[in-house]
Amino acid sequence: MSFTASIKDEISKLEMTKSENIACLSAIIRNNAKYSDKYIEIATENGNVAKRIYTFFKDIYNVTVDIDTKKNNTFNRNNIYILTITDKVNIILDDLSVIDKDGNYLDMPKEYIASSSDEARAYLRGVFLSKGSINDPKTSRYHLELLIDQKYESVFVQRLLNQFSLNSKIIMRDNKYMIYIKDSEKIGDFLRLISASNAVLYYEDIKILREQKNMTNRLNNCEQANIDKIIATCNEQIKDIELITNELGLDFLDDKIKEACIYRLKYPETSLLELSEIISLETGNAITKSGLNHRFRKIKEIAKKIEESKKEDG
């Protein structure tokens, strides 16, 4: 089962008040129904969503709901559940703020549908049940979208979302209006908003694991970068020492500089700190990383003078 399907399963089983049920059903009809003055038809691939819609109509309006199933022709092969209502159609559509008293479609639902915070959250549940999807957090990107057919309905839904500081955006896609959220924190907040508690736990667990993995990768990359830097520095130091050895000989150097050269050649890939500890341990003469770095600066200066002299002679 997909992450989106599991969310829909969960929120379709929530207990809500009558006004919340009306708000949720209004969103479902406005976003996922065909209707006329003779019928209302809703199709869904989710069996639990179909059961909940059936219960809405029975409990709120006490009407008969016909349920039919057919095979989906797409590759997922899920059944499609089709719910049809032919009784009290205009009364229901008017009560759910889909049409006005004269049968005209309402661009936005009337204020009473989502006037309270709980009713607004219920309306958003209905929109998600109808038109919503969220990428599984195991995938490479965070993405929530609601694909709305009608322009003013999309504006209304966006306003509800941003009323809860979710910072949603709208773009056109295939002549529809896609409301989307990409911020991982905001997607988690949306799941809390619609009371998808199990989905929140799963989402946050996977999100934490991803963040830990990313942090580990960053640390590994940083460590590798440091190793590469150490090796490059060691190679430069060895190059300087070899130049001095070939042109002057190590005996030309004072004892402390000569000692640094000998130990660098002996331990060609150790860091400056490790090399200072080795020299201190093996010679009994303590030297700090800073002190050893000072010696290698002297070595570089001597090597640079040799190179300049060779250029002048050449």
What Cα–Cα distance (Å) separates residue 44 from each residue in 29, 117, 242? Answer: 12, 27, 77
Per-residue pLDDT tens over the stretch 224-262: 888 788 888 889 989 988 988 888 888 888 888 989 889
Q: How far apart are CA 257 and CA 27, in angstroms?
A: 81
54 in any annotated domain: yes
> Of 162, 195, 228, at which residue does a domain stop?
195
206 in any annotated domain: no
Query: Which one-letter DSSP state was computed for residue 107?
Result: S
The one-letter amino acid at 245: T
22 in any annotated domain: yes
299 in any annotated domain: yes
The answer to whether 85 and 95 are in contact (CB under 8 A) is: no
Residues of the domain holding 250: 212-313
Is there a single domain that holds both residue 190 and residue 267?
no
Q: Of 27, 19, 24, 22, which Cα lies nearest the Cα of 108?
A: 27
Is there a single domain that holds both residue 39 and residue 187?
yes
Residue 124 pLDDT level (bands cut at 50, 70, 90): very high
Q: Which two tokens stand for residue 313?
A: 């002679």
32 in any annotated domain: yes
Is there a single domain that holds both residue 118 and residue 174?
yes
The one-letter amino acid at 247: E
CATH number of the domain to which 45 belongs: 3.10.28.10
Is there a single domain that holds both residue 138 and residue 260?
no
> Of 135, 162, 195, at which residue does a domain stop?
195
Is there a single domain that holds both residue 68 and residue 166?
yes
Is there a single domain that holds both residue 53 and residue 165?
yes
Least confidently predicted of 12-21, 128-137, 139-148 = 139-148
The one-letter amino acid at 210: R
Is there a single domain that holds both residue 104 and residue 244?
no
Element (H, E) at 220: helix 197-247
Is there a single domain that holds both residue 232 and residue 169?
no
Residue 19: HSE in the Cβ half-sphere, 13 Å Cα cutoff:
11
Which residue do the tokens 């529809």 mark? Answer: 176
Mean pLDDT, residues 10-30 taken together: 95
DSSP class per residue in 119-164: HHHHHHHHHHHHHEEE--TTSSS--EEEEESSHHHHHHHHHHHHHT
134 in any annotated domain: yes
Is there a single domain that holds both residue 182 and residue 232?
no
Name 99's bridge partners: 105
The answer to whether 251 and 258 are in contact (CB under 8 A) is: yes
Q: Of 267, 18, 240, 6, which Cα lies nearest the Cα of 118?
A: 18
Q: How many residues does the chain have?
A: 314
The number of domains in the chain is 2
278 in any annotated domain: yes
Is there a single domain that holds both residue 255 and residue 146?
no
Per-residue pLDDT tens over the stretch 150-189: 999 999 999 999 999 999 999 998 899 999 999 989 999 9
Please compute Rg for the chain using Cα positions: 35
> Of 195, 220, 255, at which residue does a domain stop?
195
Q: How far apart are CA 139 and CA 206, in angstroms?
A: 10
Q: Which two tokens stand for residue 268?
A: 């060609």
Residue 310 pLDDT level (bands cut at 50, 70, 90): confident
Is there a single domain that holds both residue 216 and residue 104?
no
Least confidently predicted of 33-37, 77-81, 302-306 = 77-81
Q: How far apart are CA 137 and CA 37, in angstroms?
A: 43
Q: How far apart are CA 116 and CA 100, in angstroms?
A: 21
Number of DSSP helices (H) and strands (E) in the chain, helices first:
11, 8
204 in any annotated domain: no
Q: How far apart are CA 286 and CA 277, in angstroms?
A: 8
| pLDDT of 98 over the 80 cut | yes
Query: H-type helices in 12-141, by residue range?
Result: 18-32, 47-56, 89-95, 117-131
Residue 17: HSE in the Cβ half-sphere, 13 Å Cα cutoff:
10
Is there a single domain that holds both residue 57 and residue 24?
yes
Q: How far apart are CA 104 and CA 91, in angstroms?
A: 13
